Amino acid sequence: MSEASRDRTRLAGLVLCGVFVLMAGRGGYLALSGAPESSAATMAAEVTPKALRGEIRDRNNQLMAATVEVHSLWANPSLIWDAEDVSIGLKEVFPELSLEDLKLRLSDPSRQFVWVKRGLTPRQRESVMALGLEGLGFRTETRRAYPLGALAGHVLGQVNVDGKGIAGVERTLDAALASGEAPVQLTLDIEAQSALESELAAAAALYEMEGAAAILMNTHTGEVLAMASWPAFDPNRAADIPANDPSRLNRAIGAVYELGSIFKPLTLAAALDRGAVRPNDSFDVSKPVLVGSFEVKDTHKFAQTANLTEIMVESSNIGTVHIARELGVPRLTAFLDAAGLMSRAPIELPGSERPLMPKHIDDVTAATISYGHGMSVSPLAFLTAFAALGNGGEMAPPTLLLDPERKVEPSPLVSAITAEIVLRMMRESVVRGTGQPAEVAGYRVAGKTGTGEKAIAGGYDKNANISSFAAIFPEDGPQYALIVTLDNPKATVGRGATASGSAAPVAGRIIERVAPLFGVTPRFDDVRPARPGLTARTPERSAL
């Protein structure tokens, strides 16, 4: 062999050694840098996920939220030879991604890891693998799934992209759910929840309202059997819903309203219980009452004098103010505080809104508060106090967590006798008063309508109402309390803008659907008492 041949052989050997040294060094660098153990032409090994987030179930063990495994696509730009070619291929599978952004992120050789797309469908994963592109890998992750879609979406809430609870029960019970030890069971009943949500959706179509809330509660345990807010919120689509979208607000706890005349039963209960008035006491309802610089009027004339039952049945603002004056400011204020209406409603959800109160309750503000104006509270805060009238005068704290060993510790609000008296008055309001559209044959509904002008900055919108109906049923054996609140229903049918024309019939339809679910026995021998307590009755009357 010539000297020249030997030199060429030595050179080739040195080149090959250099290549092997570079490859070994590169392999060591990638191993130390945490890059995937794969060649440029193969996919990375999948990462074993952490413990699955716990399930959420309803009171009947029906699945409401679960964790599923999904594949997410990532890339190692340092292993990509042609970023433009890879970006074009990925764009074909994921047309929603920006081609320029992909090229920019995949062209940086100093990076070993960038996310391309998280939460792939099986078909998307297969399509990526079929491309055979270099520098790509899959990681097995978990995603939260809500099999019932938008049903109870506001209660369930959502998790972020990393699986951490950021809203609803998912946030409140994040630690317990993250441990994955056992399912969380809620007090909700899926069928009752469906009834509330579907009736609110139907009302939205009928009355073209801006929003709505409805809550169904067990009066004895405080268990929330259903909690609905409209517009509905689908946690499966949470990533696509803007932060300021109206559907994100849980109006059952996160909005406060001047609820109008549904406050009257509480005012009457406070006055009766404190001995300020007696059931058969009569008051002059023939003329407006001067409160400060303005007059309190009724929407219709119905008598010269009326007792407490007729004041309730006719929803008399004048009569209620007279009763509130007998009660007095100190005792009314103490009652509101005891009823929890001066603080946030306690519940296992984030976002319970505090009430809007006057800085000081005086004769004027006490008068307006007595019939549901000048004080804004959340539907849940009101229902918690109102439900005491169906629990012997005791308030059971509301809860969304089903715990068979939970010991209910109610707070006394009024006596059992007072609660029964007011309950009978509300039954009369449904039988022959403004609450008639909420009557459901056989289920003995007791309740009260409430219509008030919508509060806005600096005053009230005379063209917009908050319409509500609060109910307890069955009246002769109270078990359940319900509130329906509609934000600015339009008078598209009948008296749709008033509670009698909107919230009351919605409540009636809900009760008709849920009462059989909970085994309420219908009874059709309800004897309706005579109409006592009126003098010089006039025929003028319009529903509130």
SS (H, E, C) 467-520: EEEEEEECCCCCCEEEEEEEECCCCCCCCCCCCCCCHHHHHHHHHHHHHHHCCC
Whole-number Å distance between alpha carbons of 79 and 469: 65
Per-residue confidence (pLDDT) for residue 386, from 0 to 100: 98
Task: Using pLDDT thresholds of 50, 70 and 90, give the confidence band for residue 493.
Answer: low
Task: Using pLDDT thresholds of 50, 70 and 90, give the confidence band for residue 496.
Answer: low
Is residue 472's pLDDT more than 80?
A: yes
Task: Using pLDDT thresholds of 50, 70 and 90, give the confidence band for residue 17.
Answer: very low
Is residue 32's pLDDT more than 70?
A: no
Query: Closest Cα to residue 163, out of 49, 74, 62, 245?
Result: 49
pLDDT in tens, 166-191: 999 999 999 999 998 889 999 999 99
The pTM assigned to this predicted structure is 0.83
Q: Which two tokens stand for residue 376?
A: 């804004």
Higher pLDDT, 301 or 37: 301
Per-residue confidence (pLDDT) for residue 12, from 0 to 100: 45
Residue 499, amino acid: A
Per-residue confidence (pLDDT) for residue 492, from 0 to 100: 65
Per-residue confidence (pLDDT) for residue 195, from 0 to 100: 98
Task: Using pLDDT thresholds of 50, 70 and 90, give the confidence band for residue 64.
Answer: very high
56-185 adopts what CATH topology?
Answer: Penicillin-binding protein 2a (Domain 2) (3.90.1310)
Per-residue confidence (pLDDT) for residue 326, from 0 to 100: 97
- Per annotation, catalytic residue among 78, 261, 282, 352: 261
191-521 adopts what CATH topology?
Answer: Beta-lactamase (3.40.710)
pLDDT above 70 covers a percentage of the chain that reads 86
Average pLDDT of the chain, as a whole number: 87
> Once rounded to an integer, what is the mean pLDDT over residues 157-173?
94
Per-residue confidence (pLDDT) for residue 19, from 0 to 100: 39
Task: Using pLDDT thresholds of 50, 70 and 90, give the confidence band for residue 495.
Answer: low
Domains 56-185 and 191-521 share a fold: no
Query: Closest Cα to residue 65, out of 160, 163, 183?
Result: 183
pLDDT in tens, 401-452: 999 889 999 999 999 999 999 999 999 999 999 999 999 999 999 999 999 8
Contact, 332 vs 270, CB < 8 A?
yes
Whole-number Å distance between alpha carbons of 313 and 249: 34
Task: Using pLDDT thresholds of 50, 70 and 90, give the confidence band for residue 86.
Answer: very high
Annotated domain spans of the chain: 56-185, 191-521
Per-residue confidence (pLDDT) for residue 497, from 0 to 100: 77
Per-residue confidence (pLDDT) for residue 197, from 0 to 100: 98
First to last CA, the chain: 114
- List, in sequence order, the alpha helices (H) in 168-289: 168-172, 174-179, 190-207, 251-254, 264-273
| CB neighbours of residue 240 within 10 Å | 8
Whole-number Å distance between alpha carbons of 337 and 352: 17
Task: Using pLDDT thresholds of 50, 70 and 90, give the confidence band for residue 305.
Answer: very high
pLDDT in tens, 502-538: 999 999 999 999 999 999 999 887 655 444 444 443 3
Contact, 467 vs 461, CB < 8 A?
no
Active site residue 179: no
> Once rounded to an integer, what is the mean pLDDT over residues 222-250?
95
Is residue 29's pLDDT more than 90?
A: no
Is residue 480's pLDDT more than 70?
A: yes
CA-based radius of gyration for the chain: 32
pLDDT above 90 covers a percentage of the chain that reads 75
Identify the three-state secondary structure at position 373: coil
